[in-house]
Structure 1
Amino acid sequence: MFHRSIKLKIVAALLVGVVGIALVCMALTRFVYERAMHAAAAQAVRNAQATFDGLERADVDKLAALLDGLVADERFKAAFVARDRERLQQLAKPLFDELRDEHSVTHWYFIDTDRTCFLRVHAPQLRGDRIPRLTLARAAEVRTYSAGKELGATAFALRVVKPLYDGDKLLGYYELAEEMDHFLARMKKQTGDDFGLLVDKDFLDAQAWARMRANNHERDDWGDRPHTVVVDSTTGGERLFDSGRRVKEVPDDGLVLDNLDRSLPHQVRGVFPVRDAYERKVGMVYVLHDTSRLHAGVDEVRVRVVAVVVLMALGLAALVVFLLEALVFDRLARMTAVVENLPARLQSGDYSVGGEIVPGPDDELGRFERFFSRFLDALGGTLRDLSGERDAARRRNGR
């Protein structure tokens, strides 16, 4: 039974090896899965950032084209130069309503040469204030278009400003702007992901924020986060936007975040910064990318890989056991049987025991088999000679 215990030990070792291989495969596929999730999140962040920038460029071009049409309209120019604010409002209001409905324009300004507001078509009661915005200052400096994102008291607006000239004489400025609250919805439509736009509180006014939330019949959430507020999102799960990270800490090319919500294991998160016209990092866009389909695909591949590897390992183990049985244990069993029967055969006078061992292939065990066969031949011959001498002595003594 000794060879059987060795066999069991070998089989047990092989089974342990198969289990070890399966565990290693599972660990490797888990590593591959995590890398795939990270790559998917990084790609989602890159796609979202490219989409955001593309929407901004497209809307700047749109607003610039609309401004070209407005500057070319002599009716607005005549009323502006004549300082006829009422006439200008009457002319502009119907067109502004059309621009708002069809092109998402939310602000239309006529601005004097000293950069004070002559007329806000969207809010005609507010006028006479000096406008310190960078886009307006740049338009005055370069004497042509200026565009950029500027942060107001509670939200972003994309602004395009164009000077109005009569020859070389500056008559004032036209400005069109749109609030960027529709950007995220358009991004979701294009990518299928969810988004949240957060702004650093350092660039907002807490009282204005509270008034805005009250006017919209919403809870004042200024204190929900230590450094930022959510100004827009495409999902109600705003808890997913919590990371404790400051806006200024987000790298320019974006960042993949850990999934803090374990109830959504197949959703990866990332974030990229949003800069204003001053090139300050004032906000960040969170990207929530659903990886359910990717997870299902990777999980299916993982099961298949583990199954194939385990089956191959089991097949290899079976082959090893078969080879050990054929090349080692069967031959050892034959030699053991000869040794076990050796005393009885020798006692009965059968000294041809060496012929019971048939050497196998010329391997380590085959060389031992030949040695063992010669040993048994020598042993049998010696005993045969001794038995013959004993018989001869008995016959002599008998005479």
Structure 2
Amino acid sequence: MNIYSILPLIAIFANFITCFFVLYINPKNNLNRFFGFFSFSLGIWSLCNYFTFNAISVSEAFFWNNIATIGTVLTSVSLFHFVLIFSKNKLAFNKIFLSLIYLSGFFLIFIEYTTTLITTTMYRAYWGFTCNIGPLYVLLSIYVLILIISSLFILYLYNKKTSTKELKKQTVLLFIAITIPFIGGLTTETVFPILNFEVIPFTSSLTTITAIIICFSIFKYSFIRSKSYSIQKKITISFLVIIVSLTFVFSVVNFYYQDEHLKNQADYEIELMQDKFNVVVEHEMQGLNVALEVIVQDKSLMNCYLEKNRTKLYDYGQPLFQKLKEKFEDTHFYFIETNGTCFVRLHNKDKYGDEITRFTYWAANATMNISYGLELGKTAFALRVVKPYYNGSQHIGFVELGKEIDHFFTHFKEDRSAEFAIILDKQYLDEDKWGSLREAQGLRNNWDDLEDKLIIMETVDEMSELDQPCVSCFISENVDKVIKGNYTPSLIQHEQKTYVCGGFPLIDAGNREVGTIFALIDISKSAMIAQNANLVNISLSIILLIFTIILAVLISRNISKPIENLSKSVKKIEAGNLDIQVEIKTNDEIGQLSSSFNEMVKSIRISSETLEQKIKDRTNDLQQKIKELEDFKKIIVGREMKMINLKTQINELKSKVNEEKGDDFH
């Protein structure tokens, strides 16, 4: 996995979690729906950036880039629509206006999918694939910028207008959450591409900060949610956050180890190639040594040399040299005099009499023992073995055999799907001689291809489809790093294939690091296995996430449902219904609570019935007392009436008596 793709991977999880969270807490609210749509669009955008960064071919990168355009357009449109609803703007209910906004976005998506006017092609940058922009890329950028800037301006006006302190804080946090990725996108995906500056696109990665700020606003200032959550939602959200975090950590660790596995394989492939090269060199040196042992024992050949008859020696030795050339691919055969002058070259009859100035000769002359090593000729490296030549005990000169190492790599290429190159520092070569030789061979003069290095041998043809990755691999910078010992084999993707680019120093017989042997090895099968493993990991993570959501909802409902039933029963009791019974389905703490609740209701009902009976009995007693009092009252009242009547009668009699007395007096 590309290390730069970790940031969009984090953004994928952050935005999809935010989307689920916002929709889950209040799915019927338009604010939640449109903000969920906005978060989902951000997640799609981040997902496409992740796959674009890790694409292994231009066509694959182009596919994901087109889908990313959908995410870009939908993100800006859904954000603008959400801000209109959030700020209670009248345009939120203007269907014609909104239709024009959405249709404009779909038109840009159509252009992206059917033409190359927005994205012309894809190319590989240091972070992965990125796009070459077309003439209408500016139009897409302007469309997105207008919607985002308008959203920020509407939020600013709404913040000025609203008087609610909590709404002001929500608006400020939303403004910040939008501004951060907006500035990142404006610089890395609009300004820099138009100015032809190559910068990693950070917009989708910065949306992780947006998700964090929004979640903070939701919890702290009740942004697009009610003041409190049900137990079910609290349990579901907590469970989901834990599982998603674990899934994310698992995914990152898995991607990391897959990436490390490919890097380790890259190291292994280069080390294996270096070991194989060293083994072949050692084996070939032993073969040359054996051949020299046979040559120096040939008395007829020695007599020709002692006669100092160059032509005779050449003619006599030619069949032997041709046999060595055909059977063992030996390319050089020298007889050298004791003073270091070349007496004859069996591989080049016309060149002789020159002084031999090679490390292998100097070592053999100094030690009077066999010497061997890799040495650079005019155009190629050759494996050379020099042996002192004796006639009895008399030292008469030196014999040298050699073979160019180019054919080593031809065999390596046949054994392994790979391309090779030998790259040397130009200080060891002559420019004029190199140009003449290439011309004589009918080859292009490649002296100026690299600044201070020269590719003296490569197995790939310039017209081959592998020429482009080889050009990326066989460069001066890589050679310098190999020589300094700080080069790590790298991976190169080309046309849906993955290659290891690596090398090891080429040390000559003088123990000089004169150049580098580079290899471009095809490890597409291993890379495909790793990529498939990553896709399986992502698929399993998504399946696990969906399963977790379902499981979390079921578990939280299983816990919260009995509590909700208890709550409803309490309300019924408050209304006076004491015949309620809560159904008991489990034997856990919830079941025990339900059982205790039923016992409590039963006790209340019994107490209530007992209290009603007592109240009824007391009421009957009171009614009886009242009746007795009423009867007693009637008796008392009757007596009082009789006393009143009697008193009245007495008063009447008194009046009559007084009247009679008055008459008698007169």
TM range (shorter): 0.7 to 0.9
Q: CA deviation at 1:114?
A: 0.6
**Structure 2 length as normaliser, TM-score?**
0.53
Q: Is the 8 A contact 1:25 1:306 kept in 2?
A: no
CA–CA distance in structure 1, aligned partners of residues 254 and 302 of structure 2:
68
Match of 1:385 in 2: 611
Match of 1:292 in 2: 524
Pick the aligned partner of 2:477 from 202, 227, 245.
Answer: 245
- Cα–Cα, structure 1 residues 207 and 140, in superposed 2: closer, same or farther, change >3 Å? same
CA–CA distance in structure 2, aligned partners of residues 266 and 19 of structure 1:
32
State whether structure 2 residue 422 is matched by structure 1 residue 197: yes
Q: CA deviation at 1:17?
A: 5.4
Q: Which has the larger radius of gyration?
A: 2
Q: Is the 8 A contact 2:583 2:594 kept in 1?
A: no
Q: CA deviation at 1:23?
A: 4.2
Match of 2:456 in 1: 231
Pick the aligned partner of 1:337 from 542, 546, 568.
Answer: 568
Q: SS of the counterpart of 1:396?
A: helix
- Cα–Cα, structure 1 residues 360 and 77, in superposed 2: closer, same or farther, change >3 Å? closer
- Cα–Cα, structure 1 residues 369 and 317, in superposed 2: closer, same or farther, change >3 Å? farther
State whether structure 2 residue 366 is matched by structure 1 residue 141: yes
CA–CA distance in structure 2, aligned partners of residues 89 and 36 of structure 1:
56
CA–CA distance in structure 2, aligned partners of residues 263 and 173 of structure 1:
53
Match of 2:323 in 1: 98
Q: CA deviation at 1:160?
A: 0.8
Q: CA deviation at 1:305?
A: 4.2
CA–CA distance in structure 2, aligned partners of residues 212 and 286 of structure 1:
23
CA–CA distance in structure 1, aligned partners of residues 538 and 416 of structure 2:
33
CA–CA distance in structure 1, aligned partners of residues 582 and 283 of structure 2:
94
State whether structure 2 residue 415 is matched by structure 1 residue 183: no
CA–CA distance in structure 1, aligned partners of residues 413 and 493 of structure 2:
21
Q: CA deviation at 1:318?
A: 4.3
CA–CA distance in structure 2, aligned partners of residues 213 and 356 of structure 1:
97
State whether structure 2 residue 394 is matched by structure 1 residue 169: yes
Q: Which has the higher strand share?
A: 1
Match of 1:396 in 2: 622
- Cα–Cα, structure 1 residues 67 and 253, in superposed 2: closer, same or farther, change >3 Å? farther
Alignment length (residue pairs) = 393
Q: Which has the higher helix share?
A: 2
Pick the aligned partner of 2:600 from 374, 384, 387.
Answer: 374
State whether structure 2 residue 302 is matched by structure 1 residue 302: no
Pick the aligned partner of 2:337 from 91, 103, 112.
Answer: 112
Range that drifts further, 170-179 or 13-22: 13-22
State whether structure 2 residue 298 is matched by structure 1 residue 73: yes
CA–CA distance in structure 2, aligned partners of residues 143 and 214 of structure 1:
40
Q: SS of the counterpart of 1:176?
A: strand
Pick the aligned partner of 2:253 from 1, 6, 28.
Answer: 28
State whether structure 2 residue 492 is matched by structure 1 residue 267: no
Q: Is the 8 A contact 1:359 1:369 kept in 2?
A: no
CA–CA distance in structure 1, aligned partners of residues 617 and 535 of structure 2:
77
Q: Is the 8 A contact 2:490 2:500 kept in 1?
A: yes
Match of 2:444 in 1: 219
Q: CA deviation at 1:242?
A: 3.5
Q: SS of the counterpart of 2:353?
A: coil
Match of 2:378 in 1: 153
CA–CA distance in structure 1, aligned partners of residues 458 and 341 of structure 2:
34
CA–CA distance in structure 1, aligned partners of residues 393 and 311 of structure 2:
27
Q: CA deviation at 1:282?
A: 0.8
**Structure 1 length as normaliser, TM-score?**
0.85
Q: Deviations over 1:189-232 (max 9, x none)?
A: 23333222111112111111111111111221111112221122
CA–CA distance in structure 2, aligned partners of residues 375 and 171 of structure 1:
123
Q: Deviations over 1:250-303 (max 9, x none)?
A: 269894333355556511211111100011111211121222111222233334
Range that drifts further, 251-260 or 178-187: 251-260
CA–CA distance in structure 2, aligned partners of residues 246 and 240 of structure 1:
10
CA RMSD of aligned residues (A): 3.4
Q: Deviations over 1:313-372 (max 9, x none)?
A: 65555444434333x22321321232232244x2xxx6566x658696463784587378
Q: Is the 8 A contact 1:248 1:281 kept in 2?
A: no
Q: Is the 8 A contact 2:235 2:552 kept in 1?
A: no
Q: Tell me, which stretches of 5 or more residues in structure 2 are unaligned?
A: 1-25, 27-225, 462-466, 628-666
Q: SS of the counterpart of 1:245?
A: helix
CA–CA distance in structure 2, aligned partners of residues 391 and 291 of structure 1:
98
Q: CA deviation at 1:16?
A: 5.8
CA–CA distance in structure 2, aligned partners of residues 235 and 367 of structure 1:
79
Partner amino acid, structure 2, of 1:374: M
Pick the aligned partner of 2:432 from 207, 211, 217.
Answer: 207
CA–CA distance in structure 2, aligned partners of residues 15 and 145 of structure 1:
75
CA–CA distance in structure 1, aligned partners of residues 549 and 307 of structure 2:
97
Q: Which runs of 4+ in 1 moved over 6 A?
A: 1-4, 357-360
CA–CA distance in structure 1, aligned partners of residues 538 and 281 of structure 2:
47
Higher relative contact order (Cα pairs below 8 Å, separated by 6+ residues): 1
CA–CA distance in structure 1, aligned partners of residues 571 and 246 of structure 2:
41
